[in-house]
Amino acid sequence: MARQIQFRETGGPEVLELVDVKPRDPGPGEVRICNRAIGLNFIDIYFRTGLYPTELPSGLGTEGAGVVDAVGEGVDDFEEGDRVAYAQGPRGAYGEFAIMPAANVIALPEAIDFETAAGGMLKGLTVQYLIRQTYAIDEDENILFHAAAGGVGSIACQWAHALGAHVIGTVSNEDKADFAHRNGAWMTIDYTRESVPERVRELTDGAMVPVVYDSVGRDTWKDSLACLAPRGLMVSFGNASGPVEGVNLAELNKGGSLFVTRPSLGGYADTRERFEMMCADLFSVLESGAVKIHIGQRFALEEAGAAQRALADRQTTGSTILLP
């Protein structure tokens, strides 16, 4: 038997249950992974609360790292004992074992430990598509990144700095501002006491920014649009404060022929070839030391509810992982 987190109804962190299950054998094209570390992400909360619908009962989590325990029929790229990591579903990573399609699993370089992989795969691949594909940032370019001290934000600050861009990061207090600066942010804005658009205007001498990366959603939508230069791109890639609703396209015209996109990892890593390319890019900056995954919080598997509560309440910095 093995321990796994499940939920039978949507709601708060209290709906998460630790149950004993018998790990099934991997089917054709699948691998069974003995998890050594598990990633925690906001999308897990979206499923738990019902923002993203799912069949119940359900497991949680799509990110982790560990050792291949068994392989299914037709799997030639992996064998028992291989060190691997994964960042995409199906859900069920919150457990001692996970069954994953081999197509969603990548071999983990020896230089990258399990905790780094679990804390950095989904977030790191998210940053990869955001700053290298959705809008490929240039050297000496000013960009605005919300939640700069979070798991995705801290990676983005480092990676963008390594590429020569100037990151303006939003934060909620001085400690998070200091953390963002240590990770390469050029300037920070405390959105609890400063007007983000006004401060961006000051920092850019009125030019504003060509791109805004926004994982907050509803609470920052209008301010984000107000920070864009003419023909700028609004990249809305999360809903931490709730989904953006009632979008008025006339606002894009009023702001200067603005563009908006709502990307996702699945939309970019949609083939094995692209997935491997993105992983190679991420592993390269991790192995070089240009990007470090800061594990700000570690929780035991049975503390998954407390871990999600801390994440939702913005009490975390860097990445949060579960240890089975």
Indicate the domain borders of the chain.
2-121+269-322, 135-262
The first and second tokens of residue 270, run together, are 């949609």
> Averaged over 205-219, what is the pLDDT?
96
> Averaged over 308-320, what is the pLDDT?
89
The first and second tokens of residue 217, run together, are 């959603």
Please give the share of the chain, as a percent, with pLDDT higher than 70: 100
Please tell me the distance from the alpha carbon of residue 181 to that of residue 183, in angstroms, as a whole number.
Answer: 5
pLDDT digits (tens, 9 = 90+) for 128-142: 999 999 999 999 999
Please tell me the distance from the alpha carbon of residue 191 to that of residue 90, in angstroms, as a whole number.
Answer: 36
**pLDDT at residue 270 greater than cutoff 90:** yes
**What is the DSSP code string of 203-254?**
HTTT--EEEEEESS-GGGHHHHHHTEEEEEEEEE---TT----S--THHHHH
> Averaged over 255-270, what is the pLDDT?
96
**Can you name the residues that pair with 34 across neighbouring β-strands?**
67, 97
Q: Given the DSSP bridges, would you call strands 166-171 and 187-190 parallel, antiparallel or unpaired?
A: parallel
52 versus 213: which is more confidently predicted? 213
pLDDT digits (tens, 9 = 90+) for 75-91: 999 999 999 999 998 99
Q: What is the CATH number of domain 135-262?
A: 3.40.50.720
13 upstream amide cis, omega within 30 of 0: no
The first and second tokens of residue 92, run together, are 């069920």
Q: How confident is the model at residue 100 (pLDDT cuts 50, 70, 90)?
A: very high
Q: What is the CATH number of domain 2-121+269-322?
A: 3.90.180.10
